[in-house]
Chains A and B, each alone.
Chain A
């Protein structure tokens, strides 16, 4: 799963990047390796690799931070029932 995630990220990088610059701790979103348009596909990839669906409503801040986090959060060792509560404020009259 780790190597497939790595291949996915390298394949999506907007500008040519050196593969050796992508470590398992490289921030994927804040360093611009991935953008929002890639996330649905990444989600599908992880669901395929782990063999079970991922509940989008249980996603929380930092879940896609780096490959290590993805493995810990969604890899074979991750337990679905350890998903913590949401950080968002659903149901609010949201502002502009």
Chain B
């Protein structure tokens, strides 16, 4: 089977499952061609929350029959309200930082996944802020590990420093908050960093928020932050807690949350990988509920949920199944995207293939900026 055929087969199985369980309809029935949307006036005060369902979950443990028990919130709460894309292909490098950077820029970035570098191409945050003249407080990234410190703005000469998003690395904040206390052991479960190489700990260089700024930005004292963190179970819970704090205090119009607990799969422990998926599923539901309850967000926010990529299939002998994402096989490249919001058709399924680089131009169409250097195309069904 060719990669294209395999990709289509994966998409088909997702679609068939969704239609059998939810009765979801083909979105093409409800949407016209992309050209019909051009020229439309973009409403003001729109907001978008992007959640990368990360890092790297397979269909086997999510949308396939054995995996459905792991994603009850996606299936029963979010899916009926969403347009679901069954065939999102990532043709880039399957490392979490470089893949997320590719989604953020709409261009397949090619830098070393383990290097502390900025993306080469302008990020969605730079397009958003420069084109729409938005302040720095209107675009934020909550990122999982120190390696993502530079995800907020690019090295592009026309954009770059000062035009990107603020980056919050919650684990970095917590680590700093605990540096002067002897209480660190209680929080160790929240401080795990990158799983791709368990020993990866890059030096920090980026525009990430530091502890001293936290009180100002999040209206949150170090003590309150540390006290709340103690009640959380994982780094992703910490990330969502910070994201919700940002929503309450600053109400950014563009908020990007990168979840990462799932990537514990690299340790080879299937049960911990499943735990990560279940947690990610629950947190997506909580974020959507938070959006609905917050007057600044309700009825004006579109949420995009998508994995950065999948993981290796059990069948490819070059990999070791769920543990890694090294083979580049169709299963590790083919994922999905769920989009919810007031302007998005509910309970609809889109089968045509799109690419993960299409998200930035889609956000461009949604907000009214031009992602001029992105190689992706706006997704008409939700633009």
Bind each other = no
